[in-house]
Amino acid sequence: MPLRRVAILGSTGSIGVNTLDVIRSHPERFKVVALTAGKQVDRLAEQCLEFNPAIAVVADADGAARLSAILHDKKIATEVLYGPEAMVTAVTQSNCDTVMAAIVGAAGLVPALAAAKAGKRVLLANKEALVMSGDLFMQAMQSGGGELLPIDSEHNAIFQCLPQQFTKAPHDYLGVEELWLTASGGPFRDTPISELSVVTPEQACAHPNWVMGRKISVDSATMMNKGLEVIEAFWLFGLSLEKIKVLIHPQSVVHSMVRYRDGSVLAQMGQPDMRTPIAYGLAWPERIDAGVAPLNLTQFSALSFTEPDLGRFPCLALAFSAAKTGGTAPTILNAANEIAVAAFLDAGLSYLRIPEVVEKTLNHIQSVPASSLELILEVDAQARQVATSLMSEMNI
């Protein structure tokens, strides 16, 4: 396999760190050429010292000054940039051929789209890019001529269970009847609903099976994450929404499944460790050692699957509804959720009010066709404003 030149958007996060862990074990296959972070300057500096990228980007000028000083002291020649446009520069000017899109939230959309347009191999962890701009993103991939490989474990599993030709002809179903996305049900799967009003961010972030960033951990607890994944799957695989199902599978062994016309159901199984899908995306179509312990199925007395209770998980119902509405509704859903989750994590919003903020914001703004990036970003900003003022009206 020729050396792949990798840019990592969001290298200081959970996916970013796992990506570097896989790359670290395969220096003959991968060279890191660009790294971007938000606020964690010291962690990015350590990564630059180890991987020596051509470009490193942080969110603001103060962080850039600090990073430059550290790298200068250590005689590392990495070019340091900052701000949202520099995230795009990291993709377009670093001579990378592969981009791991792992910035959390809407902030990751523009650089991920730039990677799509530039014809890169895009390893897509940032599901928000497809949730907000699925149509534009898929068109950008097509016109750029690159490869799109899903990193979300469920979508990666489905990708693995689809025939190879599917990537060339995504709208030819090749006998595919349904996609079954599995969900652990999160830390509150069995918690009495009456106790949910007092759960803390720490409890919400204590996922039973996966170690992830804080925002996605809360989304897993509310199952908004699964809702966003349904929308992501809709765009990635081109099946109608009715053919995308969600199953609660507490053991997190089966990462998702594809049901075929002839009665076959193909499942991808493995440890709940993101290094598996990351390694798959980095080396595709080859398979490399991901550093993941082998799965021992005899450890499990049973693997169970049930349908989710939408009463317990109203965020999942809201996501299904926004997906059905289409247009900018998923952007509004996503933006309001980001604001509500941030308020839950840092400003004392009650856990049960997350779906309330999202629903009220969706009711407040009418969905229109998501016809351009400018419009999507405008609606995103509007939804954030509306969600914020709704919360202040609710005395939050």
Ligand X SMILES: NC(=O)c1ccc[n+]([C@@H]2O[C@H](COP(=O)([O-])OP(=O)(O)OC[C@H]3O[C@@H](n4cnc5c(N)ncnc54)[C@H](OP(=O)(O)O)[C@@H]3O)[C@@H](O)[C@H]2O)c1
Which residues contact ligand X (rule: CB under 6 A)?
10-16, 37-40, 59, 102-104, 107, 125-128, 152, 210, 212-213, 215-216, 274
Task: Enumerate the β-bridge partners of residue 35.
Answer: 8, 56
Q: How far is the CB of 13 from ligand X (least distance, A)?
A: 2
| Pick 10 or 355: Cβ nearer ligand X | 10
| Pick 55 or 212: Cβ nearer ligand X | 212
- Closest residue to ligand X, judged by C-beta, is 13
| Pick 337 or 360: Cβ nearer ligand X | 337
Query: Up-side HSE of residue 293: CA atoms within 13 Å toward CB?
Result: 6
Q: How far apart are CA 221 and CA 206, in angstroms?
A: 9
As given in the structure block, the two tokens for residue 347 are: 């400003």
| Pick 12 or 252: Cβ nearer ligand X | 12
Query: Which ranges of 150-291 does DSSP label H, i.e. alpha helix?
Result: 153-161, 201-205, 214-222, 224-237, 275-283
98-101 β-sheet, strand order: 79-82, 55-58, 30-36, 4-9, 98-101, 121-124, 147-150
Q: How far is the CB of 343 from ligand X (least distance, A)?
A: 16
Q: How far is the CB of 290 from ligand X (least distance, A)?
A: 14
Q: How far is the CB of 66 from ligand X (least distance, A)?
A: 12
Burial 144-173, CB ≥16 within 10 A → b, else e: bebbbbbbbbbbbbbbbbbbeebeeebeeb
Of 143, 88, 86, nearest to 117 (Cα)?
143
| Pick 360 or 384: Cβ nearer ligand X | 384
| Pick 90 or 247: Cβ nearer ligand X | 90
Tell me the chain's radius of gyration from C-alpha atoms. 20
Q: How far is the CB of 8 from ligand X (least distance, A)?
A: 9
Q: How far is the CB of 10 from ligand X (least distance, A)?
A: 3
As given in the structure block, the two tokens for residue 149 are: 């490989």
| Pick 38 or 201: Cβ nearer ligand X | 38
Q: Are 127 and 229 in contact (CB under 8 A)?
A: yes
Q: How far apart are CA 151 and CA 214, in angstroms?
A: 18
Burial 20-47, CB ≥16 within 10 A → b, else e: bebbeebeebbbbbbbbbbebbeebbeb
| Pick 128 or 359: Cβ nearer ligand X | 128
* CA-to-CA separations, 279 to 79, 123, 160, in angstroms, rounded: 27, 10, 13
Q: How far is the CB of 263 from ligand X (least distance, A)?
A: 30
Q: How far is the CB of 173 from ligand X (least distance, A)?
A: 25
Q: How far is the CB of 293 from ligand X (least distance, A)?
A: 17
Amino acid (1-letter code) at residue 285: P
| Pick 22 or 360: Cβ nearer ligand X | 22
